[in-house]
Structure 1
Amino acid sequence: MDTTRDLPHQLNQEWADAFNAGDLPRLMTMYEPDAVLVPGPGAAPVHGLPAIESAMRWFLALGGRLQYTPRHWLVQGDLVLSSVAFEMDGGRDEAGNPVELRGVTDEVARRQADGSWKYVIDHPFGGAA
């Protein structure tokens, strides 16, 4: 059962669960084909599933654990604007140096024909703290 059906706020939990499990295929099911992602603080946006998948491979390779606190979900018809505050602890870069990320997201998701929700715009570092 797809728990995001009619429950757009569950999309963040499913994303965090997939990230913490290192499940790239599952993460990729949460984006529309032409979605936009900002892959890091100050990074240029990437467009489309192949570019998002590449960015996600790097992010997952850090190996950290993600936790988040919802800020808001504003639903208008088949669109939702959301924001969460997040922390990723325990990550390590290729050289083994600790990497900890914190931020506040700006996200737009759209209800799909089957009732599920997928990200259209995902800016993990776009929100104000």
Structure 2
Amino acid sequence: MLPVVTDPAKLPLVFQDALNAGDIAGVLALFAAGAGMRTVTGEHLAGTEALRAEISGTVAAHGRLTNVPRHTLVGAETALLVTDWTMEIDGPDGERIAPTGTTANIARRDADGGWRFTLLNPLGTA
């Protein structure tokens, strides 16, 4: 189990490390209850099971994420996290691809003092 993340700026790096380790439960622990995500294909997912399926698919395709945090803006127990990313992953034809982008993610501080993602948007403003 991952430790509680008390600095929202560290969320992208903790997410990266858990995903790269294939720790699906660890990645899911970084999401608040009822969290949602927009996938790189534009689909909107919500809830633990949909997030588990998405993360599991990334792990199965040997995803290797590199996050470079750009901005963390905090107010009212909410944080906007802007992060540049590269995801090396096995494409549908088995060839390794490396799409890139910039996220616009939202996190909130929970009662335990830990920060968790409420929305992930790897497509940023696109």
TM-score (norm 1): 0.88
Distance in 1 (CA, whole Å) between partners of 2:63 and 2:107 is 25
- Provide the alpha-carbon RMSD of the alignment: 1.6
What is the distance in 2 between the residues matched to 1:31 and 1:14? 12
> Residue 119 in 1 paired to residue 120 in 2?
no
Q: Report how far residue 80 of structure 1 moved.
A: 0.3
Gaps of 5+ in 2: none
The 8 Å contact of residues 4 and 115 in structure 2, kept in 1 or not, is answered as: no
Partner SS for 2:8? coil
Map of 1:1-129 to 2, 5 A cutoff? 2=3, 4-5=5-6, 7-41=7-41, 43-89=42-88, 91-93=89-91, 95-127=93-125
Using the alignment, how far apart are the partners of 1:12 and 1:127 within structure 2? 18
Q: Deviations over 1:2-22 (max 9, x none)?
A: 3512x1111111100001101
CA contact (8 A) 1:107 1:121 kept: yes
- Could you list the runs of 5+ residues in structure 1 that have no partner in the other structure? none
TM-score, normalised via structure 2 length = 0.90
The percent identity for this pair of structures is 28
Q: How many residues align?
A: 125
Partner Cα distance (1:125, 1:29) in 2: 22
